[in-house]
Amino acid sequence: MNPTATRFAPSPTGHLHLGNVRTAFFNWLLARRNGGRFVLRSEDTDAERSRDDYLEALMEDLAWLGLDWDEGPDCGGDHAPYRQVQRGDVYAAYFDKLSTERHAYPCFCSPRQLAVSRKVQLSAGRPPRYAGTCRDLAESEVASRLASGETATLRFRVERGREIRFDDLVRGPQSFASDDIGDFVIRRADGSAAFFFSNALDDSLMEISDVLRGEDHITNTPRQIMLLQCLGLRAPRYGHLSLLVGDDGAPLSKRHGASSLRELREQGFLPAAILNHLLRLGHALIEEHWYEPDAMAQAFEIGRLGRAPARFDLDQLDHWQREAIHHAGADTLAVWGGLDDLAVVPSAQRAAFLEAVRPNLSRPGDLADWAERVFGALPEPEDDASTAINAAGADFFAAAADAFATGAHSLKELARAVSERTGARGKSLYMPLRAALTGRLSGPELGPLLELMPAPAIEARLRRHAGPGDE
Is 28 or 404 the residue whose CB approaches ligand GLU more closely? 28
Closest by CA position to 248, among listed 256, 258, 240, 238: 256
CA distance 164 to 220: 12
Q: How would you list the strands of the sheet with 104-107, edge to edge?
A: 104-107, 153-156, 184-187
State in angstroms the smallest separation of the CB of 213 from ligand GLU: 4
Please answer whether residues 389 and 436 qualify as being in contact, where contact means their C-beta atoms are separated by less than 8 angstroms: yes
For ligand GLU, which stretch binds (CB under 6 A), given 5-13, 98-106, 138-146, 312-320? Answer: 5-13
Q: How far apart are the first and last CA of the chain?
A: 91
Please answer whether residues 277 and 320 qualify as being in contact, where contact means their C-beta atoms are separated by less than 8 angstroms: yes
State in angstroms the smallest separation of the CB of 17 from ligand GLU: 9
In the region spanning residues 195 to 224, those forming contacts with ligand GLU, defined by CB under 6 A, are: 199, 211, 213, 217
Q: Determine if 9 is a binding residue for ligand GLU (CB under 6 A).
A: yes
> What contacts 360, CB < 8 A, 6 or more positions away?
366, 370, 442, 443, 444
In the region spanning residues 403 to 422, those forming contacts with ligand GLU, defined by CB under 6 A, are: none
State in angstroms the smallest separation of the CB of 147 from ligand GLU: 35
Is 237 or 319 the residue whose CB approaches ligand GLU more closely? 237
Is 11 or 276 the residue whose CB approaches ligand GLU more closely? 11
- Write the DSSP string, 274-306: HHHHHTTSSB--SS-S---HHHHHHH--GGGB-
Is 181 or 201 the residue whose CB approaches ligand GLU more closely? 201
For ligand GLU, which stretch binds (CB under 6 A), given 7-15, 59-67, 352-360, 439-447? Answer: 7-15
State in angstroms the smallest separation of the CB of 435 from ligand GLU: 53
In the region spanning residues 280 to 319, those forming contacts with ligand GLU, defined by CB under 6 A, are: none
CA distance 156 to 440: 68
Q: Determine if 235 is a binding residue for ligand GLU (CB under 6 A).
A: no
Among 10, 239, 246, 271, binds ligand GLU (CB under 6 A): 10
Is 213 or 465 the residue whose CB approaches ligand GLU more closely? 213
Please answer whether residues 71 and 8 qualify as being in contact, where contact means their C-beta atoms are separated by less than 8 angstroms: no
For ligand GLU, which stretch binds (CB under 6 A), given 9-17, 110-118, 336-344, 455-463? Answer: 9-17
State in angstroms the smallest separation of the CB of 8 from ligand GLU: 7
State in angstroms the smallest separation of the CB of 220 from ligand GLU: 8
For ligand GLU, which stretch binds (CB under 6 A), given 4-12, 32-40, 324-332, 427-435? Answer: 4-12
**At 49, which amino acid appears?**
R
> What contacts 420, CB < 8 A, 6 or more positions away?
none
For ligand GLU, which stretch binds (CB under 6 A), given 6-14, 118-126, 413-421, 441-449? Answer: 6-14
CA atoms within 13 A on the CB side of 26: 31
What are the beta bridge partners of residue 156?
104, 184
Question: Can you state the angle between helices 52-65 and 271-278, rounded to 10 degrees?
Answer: 90
CA distance 257 to 246: 9
CA distance 447 to 410: 7
CA atoms within 13 A on the CB side of 75: 11
CA distance 304 to 31: 16
Is 50 or 422 the residue whose CB approaches ligand GLU more closely? 50
Maximum Cα interatomic distance, the chain, rounded to a whole number of Å:
112
Give the number of other CB atoms < 10 A from CB of residue 172: 8
Is 7 or 373 the residue whose CB approaches ligand GLU more closely? 7
Is 199 or 242 the residue whose CB approaches ligand GLU more closely? 199
State in angstroms the smallest separation of the CB of 305 from ligand GLU: 15
Q: Binders of ligand GLU: how many residues, by CB under 6 A?
A: 8
CA distance 224 to 446: 63
Is 9 or 418 the residue whose CB approaches ligand GLU more closely? 9
DSSP 103: S
Among 6, 11, 242, 422, binds ligand GLU (CB under 6 A): 11
Is 54 or 430 the residue whose CB approaches ligand GLU more closely? 54
> What contacts 294, CB < 8 A, 6 or more positions away?
none
Is 153 or 199 the residue whose CB approaches ligand GLU more closely? 199
Please answer whether residues 198 and 45 qualify as being in contact, where contact means their C-beta atoms are separated by less than 8 angstroms: yes
State in angstroms the smallest separation of the CB of 440 from ligand GLU: 46
Site map for ligand GLU, 160-199, x if CB under 6 A?
---------------------------------------x
Q: Determine if 43 is a binding residue for ligand GLU (CB under 6 A).
A: yes
Is 43 or 210 the residue whose CB approaches ligand GLU more closely? 43
* Strands of 118-158, DSSP E: 153-156
Using a CB cutoff of 8 Å and minimum separation of 24, what contacts does 284-289 make?
A: none
For ligand GLU, which stretch binds (CB under 6 A), given 8-16, 179-187, 227-235, 360-368? Answer: 8-16
Residues of this chain that bind ligand GLU (CB under 6 A):
9-11, 43, 199, 211, 213, 217
